[in-house]
């Protein structure tokens, strides 16, 4: 499979090319697999992955044959493409890469890595005879490769500042890009609170003969218990009223849950079979690794891919409910607003170790200078495993380590901890 993946990753030479022309031509060449299954389309600056995971789990527990398309992966490329909770097999992946490569070369197309991957996912889903797919936008929405689908429901979790080099310099500009997933007569659910962003979404929905449903207006939640094992939440809505155990940590995940439950209500109204028990069980079984994940309690090790300002704020809101961490192990992807993220996280940590992830990493020495500029001591380790090992040496069994920043360092950290039985 290495040869096929090398070909796929080599497509990154085409970079990121926002636009749907190549994707539409590719869908035509492949017989329009995207039209053969029902789908739910999800975008947002933060929370879209967690929302996808919860919704897919609920649909699967409701008896549907589901598909899930998300990015990036943590350990293996296959994780991006799942049917009924199971990642695509190596043999299916090899076969589809080879097939689509022939089609691409025969028709003189030049898809980007993400366009090829999205086409592969849609073809796999079509041939798997799924009932419904949960599709995560790669970036933005309007010009994203996934935006060739016409879903049952569109979801825009929230809008913040990220990928500004492609999407715009203000939340309003970014909101217009994300609003591009809104389709004619397809309902839209959001948990966005900013008035200017909501108006942009509502204006676009009006042009598309549909409406924006604000999750916080139709689903009410009340946390009755919260600890490192998860959150127990009383939920009240028009179609849903129950207590739910949410294994995902953080107040921001409650907002994501409200979006998911609003989506369930809308899907039930559209005729999809879902019981309250299915919904409760689906939420309780949700796994979304690498996001506010407690790996160990002695020592306390918390892992989170908080890569942008809003993500860092969500992390810090959770950290403020806990004692200051003894060690922060941090890495960042090149191009991120590192100073803003660190300004939020550093006050919650005593000692800092900088390292780098596996993909487009920012130079650890560059990050270290930012840390030193605010008067914080810092150490640098080139490898994630060395950084985590040093952190463990500092804290022993009774301390605490926060591993945060680039999602591309999380797999190495988790692998090291697993190998060393931490």
Report domain extents, the chain: 2-284, 293-419
Mean pLDDT of 86-95: 97
Which of 214 and 306 is assigned the larger pLDDT? 214
**pLDDT for 359 beyond 90:** no
Residue tagged 């969500």 (tokens): 314
Assigned superfamily of 2-284: Mur-like, catalytic domain (3.40.1190.10)
Topology match between the domains 2-284 and 293-419: no
Sign of CA dihedral 362, 368, 371, 377: positive
Instruction: Report the DSSP beta bridge partners of residue 69.
Output: 81, 135
Q: Report d(CA 418, CA 247) in Å as an integer.
A: 20
Q: Which of 102-116, 153-167, 399-413 shows the lowest mean pLDDT across its residues?
A: 153-167
Mean pLDDT of 228-248: 93
- Least Cα distance to 414 among 87, 81, 75, 82 occurs for 75
The percent of the chain in helix, strand and coil, each rounded to the nearest 5, is: 45, 20, 35
Q: In 254-276, which positions are buried (b, 16+ CB within 10 angstroms) versus exposed (e)?
A: bbbbbbbbbbbbbbbeeebebee
CB-based contacts of 174-178 (< 8 A; 24+ apart in sequence): 174/45, 174/140, 175/200, 175/201, 176/142, 176/200, 176/204, 177/140, 177/141, 177/142, 177/143, 178/43, 178/44, 178/45, 178/137, 178/140, 178/141, 178/142
* Per-residue pLDDT reduced to its tens digit, 280-303: 999 999 999 988 999 999 999 999
Q: Is residue 30 a contact partner of residue 104, using CB atoms and an 8 Å limit? A: no
Q: Is residue 54 a contact partner of residue 262, using CB atoms and an 8 Å limit? A: no
Assigned superfamily of 293-419: Mur ligase, C-terminal domain (3.90.190.20)
Q: Is residue 228 a contact partner of residue 249, using CB atoms and an 8 Å limit? A: yes
**pLDDT for res 333:** 87
pTM greater than 0.75 (yes/no)? yes
* Per-residue pLDDT reduced to its tens digit, 48-85: 999 999 999 999 999 999 999 999 898 899 999 999 99
* Per-residue pLDDT reduced to its tens digit, 136-191: 999 888 999 999 999 999 999 998 766 656 677 788 889 999 999 999 999 999 99
């Amino acid at each position: 499979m290495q040869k096929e993946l090398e070909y796929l990753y080599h497509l990154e030479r085409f970079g990121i090319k926002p636009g749907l022309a190549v994707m539409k031509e590719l869908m035509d060449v492949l017989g329009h697999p995207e039209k053969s299954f029902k789908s739910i389309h999800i975008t947002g600056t933060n929370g879209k992955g967690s929302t996808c995971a919860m919704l897919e789990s609920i649909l699967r527990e409701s008896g549907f044959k589901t598909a899930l398309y998300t990015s990036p992966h943590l350990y293996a490329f296959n994780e991006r493409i799942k049917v009924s909770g199971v990642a695509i097999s190596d043999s299916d992946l090899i076969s589809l890469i080879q097939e689509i490569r022939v089609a691409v070369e025969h028709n003189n197309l030049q898809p980007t890595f993400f366009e090829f991957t999205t086409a592969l996912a849609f073809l796999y889903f079509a041939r798997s005879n799924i009932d419904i797919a949960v599709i995560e936008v790669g970036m933005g929405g309007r010009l994203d490769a996934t935006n060739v689908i016409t879903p049952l429901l569109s979801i825009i979790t929230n809008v913040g500042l990220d990928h500004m080099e492609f999407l715009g310099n203000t939340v309003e500009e970014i909101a217009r890009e994300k609003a591009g997933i809104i389709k004619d007569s397809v309902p839209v659910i959001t948990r966005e609170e900013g008035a200017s962003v909501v108006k942009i979404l509502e204006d676009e929905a009006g042009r598309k003969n549909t409406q924006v449903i604000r999750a916080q207006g139709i689903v009410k939640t009340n946390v009755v218990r919260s600890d490192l094992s998860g959150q127990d939440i009383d939920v009240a809505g028009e179609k849903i009223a129950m207590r739910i155990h949410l294994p995902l940590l953080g107040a921001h995940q409650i907002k994501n849950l409200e979006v998911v439950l609003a989506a369930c209500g809308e899907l039930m109204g559209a005729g999809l079979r879902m019981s309250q028990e299915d919904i409760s069980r689906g939420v309780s079984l949700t796994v979304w690794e690498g996001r506010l994940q407690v790996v160990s309690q002695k020592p306390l090790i918390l892992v989170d891919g908080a890569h942008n300002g809003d993500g860092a704020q969500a992390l810090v809101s959770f950290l403020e409910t806990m004692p200051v961490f003894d060690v922060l192990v941090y890495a960042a992807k090149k191009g991120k607003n590192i100073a803003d993220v660190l300004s939020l996280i550093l006050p919650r940590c005593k000692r800092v170790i900088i390292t780098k992830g596996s993909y487009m990493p920012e130079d650890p020495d560059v990050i270290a200078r930012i840390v030193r500029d605010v008067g914080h001591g810092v150490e640098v380790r080139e490898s994630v495993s060395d950084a985590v090992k040093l952190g463990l040496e500092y804290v022993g069994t009774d301390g605490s380590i926060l591993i945060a920043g680039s999602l591309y360092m999380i797999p190495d950290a988790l692998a090291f901890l697993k190998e060393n039985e931490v």
